[in-house]
């Protein structure tokens, strides 16, 4: 079952990546209500991203680890393009050849996407 992770899900999975935990502890650490965290855990369990070990104790699954690893490593191309534009503007005012080479490499990476 595909599940779109929201901010709460990512926080919960990241905390569970550090070790097993209870909903009330996760709620305290994330700032969400215990009931909201419990609801998110049920959805994460249905998506096979966490396991309920009994007694309310949850742990992250291998699929859950892969999801948070994938979500944290995605390249934000728009953000990189904005940074590239800012760097080009700064370069024009500084006029450094090394900066130009680095900017050209970044542009090549974006063009390859």
Q: Which residues of 55-66 are buried (b: 16+ CB within 10 A; e: fewer)?
A: eeebebbeebee
| Local confidence band at 11 (pLDDT 50, 70, 90 cut-offs) | very high
In the predicted model, is pLDDT for residue 75 greater than 90?
Answer: no
H-type alpha helices, the chain: 7-17, 23-30, 34-46, 62-73, 77-94, 97-112
Question: How high is the pLDDT of residue 76?
Answer: 65
Lowest mean pLDDT among 12-16, 45-49, 80-84: 80-84
Task: Calculate the alpha carbon distances from 104 to 63, 77, 95, 101 in Å.
Answer: 37, 15, 14, 5
Give the predicted TM-score (pTM) of the model: 0.62
For residue 79, pLDDT over 70 is answered with: yes
pLDDT for residue 72: 60
Torsion of CA 34, 40, 43, 49, to 10 degrees: -110
pLDDT one-digit tens code per residue, 47-57: 999 999 999 99
């Amino acid at each position: 079952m595909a599940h779109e992770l929201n901010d709460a899900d990512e926080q919960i999975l990241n905390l569970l990546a550090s070790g097993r935990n209870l909903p009330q502890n996760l709620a305290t650490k994330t700032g969400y209500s215990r009931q909201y965290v419990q609801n998110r855990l049920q959805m994460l369990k249905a998506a096979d991203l966490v396991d309920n070990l009994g007694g309310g104790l949850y742990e992250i699954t291998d699929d859950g680890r892969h999801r948070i690893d994938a979500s944290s490593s995605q390249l934000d191309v728009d953000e990189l393009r904005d940074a590239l534009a800012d760097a080009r503007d700064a370069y024009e005012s500084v006029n450094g050849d090394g900066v130009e080479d680095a900017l050209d490499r970044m542009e090549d990476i974006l063009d390859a996407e």
